Structure 1
Amino acid sequence: MAGLWHRTFRDFFSDRRLWLFPLSAGLCWFATLTILLVRWVALGRPRYPGQVNPYVPFISDIAAQTFQPVFIVGCAATGICFFGTVFAVHHVRYSPKFYGLTDDAQWRQSVSLVALAAGLAAATCLVFLSIFDTYENASRHRYLLMGTFGGLFVSAVTTTLVWWDQIQGPAIFVGLRKWCIFNTFLVLCQFGVGLAFVVLMYSNHFKSAGILEWTLTYLGSFWLVSFVGYTR
């Protein structure tokens, strides 16, 4: 009997180029961050109006300026590719043309659907976050930021949970285990850096918090690219 995911997305997408989703997502996000950072340095590292962090501006401080169109385009491209990545990573697990685990435990396939829903929520919030990244929408920006990080967190944890059997169990698919381990390592790094960022920010250690925010977001780009190993 076909599993839940396979019944839902039977023959929906069996293209061998699914790996382009995580590659595009990671590159789009890396490029967006780098453009903002390079622009800030090129302008002489200015302090923007309303900038809370006096040492290192947060991403939203730079993005809220005249470069907002670049931020919107970058977030839109990243969001679309991220949702495609979440779908691809779980779809290859159950598609008969890939790993073909159609008899996988029902709870894993249910968790895969949760990861997909969380990925859609994160992608949607990210796009709207870039649009409302202005000083006039500070409150809305904060809620969208929470929605983005919340969706990313749920999607990352559930995806790790679904693929955990490839870390613990016997190596059925050659080369897959190393990518699962590497991806899980990046999830743990992001969790640690994110927790440290929140603690330092709310304890007014702004310089360290600013550095950690950029570190966290750059780690996210490598995390996305690591899914290429799942979908290849």
Structure 2
Amino acid sequence: MAVLLLWPRALKHVSLSGYLWLFPLVAGISWFTTITILLVRWLALGQPRYPGQVNPDVPFISDIAAFTFKPVFVTGCTVTGVTFAGTMFAVHHVRYARAFYGLVDDVAWRQNTSVFAMVAGLAAAVLLFFLSLFDTVDAHARHQLLLMGTFGGLGLSAVLTAAVWWDQTWGPAKFSGLRRWCLVNTGLMACQVVIGLSFVVLMYSGRYRPAGFLEWTLTYLGSFWLLTFIGYTRFRNGIDSQTPDGTERQPLLA
């Protein structure tokens, strides 16, 4: 237990600038831009059907990225992966940093969960990079494993992060404006989990048409989910006035 709590304890004392919100901003914009470029490119080419494409209506993201604009896909995945890993660190850092929310008396299981969420996020970022590299026609099996691994890491980090912040989502409001960000983030996370599981089931059952639409829906939702973390890492003011030292700061004479 002491080993698992070492990293969250270190987080409480790390002094960082007030620009952590740039991580989710860049991650969300980068991912949204990457998949939009691929989609617009496919539409501009007259909606071609790629070799090996199993979805009759809309290709999977990997179908487009494997044949056109692969450098764009690799670059976009790299930027998104790096900034996503930074986002996971930032979101869990601000919870314990005294300069932000300063929840230093958090229960042990939440601190441990923060560690696992960051590790899962880092794993997802690394797998996303390799997914973009091996997005080729001759590496289908490897691509499938990397895709499932990336989705698994993303899903795990999302669920664990929501669990850590659950007290701020439904508990007493301690920070003005934080709850609405937590609610939106948790709602998007729940939608992504449902869509992601449905996508996996449809993929492995051979129902590629609905799976293709779910993949595009899932990826676009993911970009908005990333952007909601801006609210966690930027809006840290407005602490509830019912603080222990609130009266101590009042002047003796009015």
After TM superposition, the score normalised by the length of structure 1 is 0.95
The match for 2:125 is 123
Q: Percent identity?
A: 65
Q: CA deviation at 1:211?
A: 1.2
Answer yes or no: is the 8 Å Cα contact 2:8–2:115 preserved in 1.
no
Aligned length: 230
Task: Tell whether 2:175 aligns with 1:165.
Answer: no
Answer yes or no: is the 8 Å Cα contact 2:12–2:104 preserved in 1.
no
Answer yes or no: is the 8 Å Cα contact 2:14–2:97 preserved in 1.
no
Mapped to 2, the partners of 1:136 and 1:214 lie a distance apart of: 23
The match for 1:45 is 47
Q: CA deviation at 1:142?
A: 1.2
Q: CA deviation at 1:24?
A: 0.5
CA 1:190–1:96 in 2, change beyond 3 Å: closer, same or farther?
same
Letter paired with 1:87: F
The match for 1:225 is 227
Mapped to 2, the partners of 1:147 and 1:51 lie a distance apart of: 21
Unaligned runs of 5+ in 2: 235-254
The match for 1:84 is 86
Alignment of 1:1-16 (within 5 A): 4-16=6-18
Q: Secondary structure at the match of 1:227?
A: helix
Letter paired with 2:160: T
Task: Tell whether 2:57 aligns with 1:60.
Answer: no
Alignment of 1:86-165 (within 5 A): 86-165=88-167
Answer yes or no: is the 8 Å Cα contact 1:5–1:94 preserved in 2.
no
1:174-200 Cα shifts (integer Å, max 9, x gaps):
110111011000011111222232333
Q: Secondary structure at the match of 1:9?
A: helix
Task: Tell whether 2:185 aligns with 1:186.
Answer: no
Q: CA deviation at 1:29?
A: 0.1
Mapped to 1, the partners of 2:185 and 2:172 lie a distance apart of: 18
The match for 1:198 is 200
The match for 2:243 is none
Mapped to 2, the partners of 1:147 and 1:135 lie a distance apart of: 19
After TM superposition, the score normalised by the length of structure 2 is 0.87
1:126-153 Cα shifts (integer Å, max 9, x gaps):
0000001001111111111111011111
Q: CA deviation at 1:169?
A: 1.3
Answer yes or no: is the 8 Å Cα contact 1:4–1:109 preserved in 2.
no
The match for 1:30 is 32
Mapped to 2, the partners of 1:20 and 1:128 lie a distance apart of: 24
Answer yes or no: is the 8 Å Cα contact 1:55–1:206 preserved in 2.
no
Q: CA deviation at 1:11?
A: 3.8
Mapped to 2, the partners of 1:120 and 1:205 lie a distance apart of: 31
Answer yes or no: is the 8 Å Cα contact 1:40–1:46 preserved in 2.
yes
Q: Over aligned residues, Cα RMSD in angstroms?
A: 1.4
Q: Which has the larger radius of gyration?
A: 2
Answer yes or no: is the 8 Å Cα contact 2:28–2:224 preserved in 1.
yes
CA 1:198–1:48 in 2, change beyond 3 Å: closer, same or farther?
same
CA 1:4–1:170 in 2, change beyond 3 Å: closer, same or farther?
farther
Answer yes or no: is the 8 Å Cα contact 2:8–2:114 preserved in 1.
no
Letter paired with 1:180: C
